A and B are shown apart, each in its own frame.
Chain A
Amino acid sequence: MAATVSDAAAPAHQFPLPKILTNPASTPPTLITQGAEGRLYKTTYLRPDTACALKYRPPKPWRHPALDQRLTRHRILSEARILAKCRRDGLRVPSVYALDESAGWLMLEWIEGTPVRVNINNRLGNRTEGIEDDEQLKDLMRKIGTAVGKMHSIGIIHGDLTTSNMMLKPPSAGSQSDGAAGLEGEIVIIDLGLAGGGVHDEDRAVDLYVLERAFGSTHPRAECIFDEVLEAYKKSFKQAGVALKKLEEVRMRGRKRSMLG
């Protein structure tokens, strides 16, 4: 969610702004990224010094309007409900400031830092060796595992776990020791637009499987330390072992799936 997420690097406002951001009282917004679901703007909430993120899901012209409305409303409301539940149960996620589900936007707390994907890639650089002994990187893996475990323990399934959907919020400004490659800080899970409630081991296992696969395809060279995520996950809540057992089944199914027909 930070300004460093500039893959899209879209020139500001090539898209029509959502109506809420055209209010003369609102701080001029910055388009941060054009994700799959919608656009993320940085603006402010109530006071000019309270930064906030505005997630806007514009209508998708290629989708049937009825289907589009149904999905957008459902996802905004569900994301807000889930974020509220996470905060209540002690998982660090952005807090909800405001929303309008029929206009398609959700206003959230601004999280400083960078997506974990960026931290990992910066850390990896061009290295091909010594990755499995990188204790700091492994420590980050463990933090990811713990955060995902916490989320599952409170009955939430993310639905789109990737290293782009977790932020690494650096410890409060000034105490950064390691520059850009700094791996310390707190994991904040974001983008719960596809999340849902779920306490079944199957759901948890599929969630982990999505993360495992996304991790492997995004950071192929760091795949060797992914086990650290699962190790930490295992220790994070009582039922974790069962979910991991199920993960083995899901993996098997994944390998065999749909090669016929």
Chain B
Amino acid sequence: MPSKKSSWIALGCEGSANKLGIGLIRHTPTSATILSNLRHTFISPPGTGFLPKDTALHHRTEFVALARRAIAEAGISPADVDCICFTQGPGMGAPLTSVAIGARTLALLWDRPLVGVNHCVGHIEMGREVTGADNPVVLYVSGGNSQVIAYAEKRYRIFGETLDIAVGNCLDRFARVLNISNDPAPGYNIEQLAKKGKQLLELPYIVKGMDCSFSGILTSAEALAAQLLERGPDGAGFTVEDLCFSLQETIFAMLVEITERAMAHVGSSQVLIVGGVGCNERLQDMIASMAQERGGSVFAMDERFCIDNGIMIAHAGLLAYRTGFRTPLDESVCTQRFRTDDVYVEWRD
């Protein structure tokens, strides 16, 4: 049935990890406009990670204020909102649930339908929208996920992924051993240190087909870090900067390799990098250089969209909403394990 409606607005709530994000987006049949995109990050002290309990508390505490600000900044009233989108998974259980409660409350309060969104699909769709990449191979790298994805026949298919921990998790945990600050993000601080590194230390390099593994590298890097803490740079023969440099060079080379393999396999020359680790400029440069050699190009985004945010949830949710997708209240349960390829992508050909 052709609908006369030509403008839709969605509110998106994201809280699968330590970022609470709320954003509003407007779609017309041909464009998407960001009305507001706010984020509040829970930052744990150096040497510690963010625990589910504390992170959930953070999200619950900040949700209402952030939602009010997002609405105010967008300059609209709740009556203009067509649907409430929220991250249904994957992610950490308690934080996901806290934000889902917030989303359900808004939905009931304003009498609007809910749309549950897969976090990974949110990243991909936002990436496509912002960069204009049409049908890229997607490298999705963050604290909780590391996947190489390509679209085929109505699903985002996972070609390669980590066999154990995510690449961002490897970086985060490594940062803890050396008490590198979590502000604004451990990966950012490692990147800054790595710029001053000179020496490449030998770390394991583990690629299996299009999959890779980071836990062994983390163990090796932690062992080297322990040596460094015990003996100091002179005794150990390398510095913190060298270690950060070596870790980045090794794990990013692995990521580039699996991405390149996926590109060769599907015959694509475009790459899109999404997820928090995608902010890393060294990784972006390496991927760009690889893509260029293959006669293609890379699409990378800045931290507004690479790092978890509400707008990507609103965007992906609204795409689904416009095809008729709804998440009834009694099916709005979150799940920590929600595969990217579980989502039926109705809105693409």
Q: A residues touching B (Cβ–Cβ < 8 Å)?
A: 7-8, 10, 33-37, 60-64, 66-67, 70-71, 159-162, 164, 194, 206, 210, 213-214, 216-218, 220-221, 255-261
Contacts and interface: CB of A to CB of B under 8 A. Distances in A.
A258 B92 CA distance: 11
A73 to B, nearest CB: 13
Contacts of B260: 36
B190 to A, nearest CB: 16
B231 interface: no
A160 B166 contact: no
B143 interface: yes
Q: 9 tightest A-B contacts by CB?
A: A36-B261, A7-B267, A217-B157, A259-B90, A261-B169, A62-B286, A160-B209, A62-B289, A36-B264
Contacts of B295: 10
A195 to B, nearest CB: 11
B144 interface: yes
A159 B208 contact: yes
Interface string B140-165: 00011110001011010111011111
Nearest to B90: A259
A37 B264 CA distance: 9
B153 A221 contact: yes
B149 to A, nearest CB: 9
Contacts of B285: 62
B200 A62 contact: no
11 contacts: A10-B295, A36-B261, A62-B285, A64-B200, A194-B208, A214-B159, A217-B158, A220-B157, A221-B153, A259-B337, A261-B169
A194 B143 contact: no
Contact of B169 (A60, A221, A258): A258
A61 B288 CA distance: 11
Contacts, number: 119
B265 A218 contact: yes
B90 to A, nearest CB: 4
Contacts of A67: 200, 205, 249-250, 253
Given A67-B200, A162-B265, A206-B208, 8 more contacts: A34-B294, A36-B264, A60-B256, A210-B208, A210-B209, A255-B339, A258-B162, A260-B336
A61 B286 CA distance: 9
Q: Which of B253, B262, B285, B287 is most buried by chain A, counting CB atoms within 10 A of its CB?
A: B253
Contacts of B152: 217, 220
B89 to A, nearest CB: 8
B257 interface: yes
Nearest to A7: B267
B290 A213 contact: no
A194 B209 contact: yes
B207 interface: yes
B263 interface: yes
B290 A194 contact: no
Contacts of A216: 157
Given A34-B264, A258-B169, A61 B157 contact: no
A61 B202 CA distance: 18
B208 A64 contact: no
A259 B91 contact: yes
Given A64-B249, A220-B157, A261 B165 contact: yes
Contact of B289 (A61, A70, A210): A61
A8 B172 CA distance: 38
B294 to A, nearest CB: 7
B146 A258 contact: yes
B85 interface: no
A104 to B, nearest CB: 15
A40 B266 CA distance: 17
A201 B147 CA distance: 25
B166 A261 contact: yes
B230 to A, nearest CB: 26
Contact of A71 (B89, B158, B205, B264): B205
Contact of A257 (B164, B205, B250): B164
B308 interface: no
B159 A217 contact: yes
